[in-house]
Amino acid sequence: MCTRQLSCLGLILGIMLQAPSLALPAEKEEAAEEVSLPSTLVTEGATPATEAEGTFTLTRSQMERTYGFGFSSLQYAPVPSFGVKLAIPFAVRDPRDSEPTVGGIGDVSLMVKYTPLLLPAQQFALGGGVKLTFPTGSERRELGGMLAVAPFLAAGKGLGPFSLQADVFYSWQLNRGPTIRAEEEGEESIRPEREQVVTANLTGTYSPLERLGLILELNSVTMIRGEDPLRERVQLYLTPGVSVEPAKGWNLRGGIQVPVTSAKQFDYNVMVILTKGF
């Protein structure tokens, strides 16, 4: 399934590279000095930016409700082709059984992004980088505890009022979870396998008005290795949403992520994101 996901992303990138620009006045093409792509919900944008972003999420599954909030993104781009991104998540878990509600900081992540291919006239960008996740969240309270590295590729193509953006990540867990003790005497303890996960996302955006965007994302997650029951099963989610710009430099967007396969981590995930660009 990992190969299939990578093949699909390669096809998407090929279409982006070959897709011609919609007919625009020559003066507009000449005036284009930067690649300007709309904000997304889940998909990682290909272009670095200097901005601060806050996120609120509400995720519901058969086992619990989870509320997430915090700085989903503190980004700094000293030049258009390079940027760094810091994410500081907080979460509150509300189990449906008798377990107590717990909350705290999740796993902090740091991303380095480099976009060597920026074509303003064609509104196309292709880049990549690496994301490091640090085990700052409590593993005991199921708020994190993972040390991981994830190289990624990201691309975006503007087509007049439409745009396409895509990404693919391959995440390797570097640490191991605590050893699971044997339930019966004589049995060996179990050392959890390090997780390897592939995620791939595709976003289409239509902007009928200058400050309004309609978003539809297709998100996929596949665990290649690990102890999760969803191992080697492809999870697919659809994420419709809307994006508005209430003022210059500000963007507010929201959406709901719903599963379209029987393999799923949650029943739905509501997200609201506020971004301030600098």
Contact 195, 226 (CB under 8 A): yes
**pLDDT interval class at 141 (50, 70, 90):** confident
How far out from the chain centre does Cα 202 lie?
A: 10
**pLDDT interval class at 26 (50, 70, 90):** very low
Comparing CA positions, the residue from 200, 150, 205 lying closest to residue 8 is 200
CA angle 5, 9, 15 (to 5 degrees): 150
Domain 2-18+42-177+191-277 indexed as CATH 2.40.160.40: yes
In the chain, where the domains are located: 2-18+42-177+191-277
Q: Any residues with CB less than 8 A from the CB of 219 and at least 6 apart, and which?
A: 42, 43, 199, 200, 201, 236, 237, 238, 239, 257
CA–CA distance, 205 with 216 (Å, rounded to integer): 6
Counting other chains too, the contacts that 92-97 makes at CB distance below 8 Å and 24 or more residues apart are 92/66, 92/67, 92/68, 93/64, 93/65, 93/66, 93/141, 93/142, 93/143, 94/64, 94/65, 94/66, 94/67, 95/63, 95/64, 96/62, 96/63, 96/64, 96/65, 97/63
What does the pLDDT read at residue 258?
A: 98
pTM for this entry: 0.85
pLDDT digits (tens, 9 = 90+) for 206-228: 999 989 999 999 999 999 998 88
CA–CA distance, 171 with 181 (Å, rounded to integer): 27
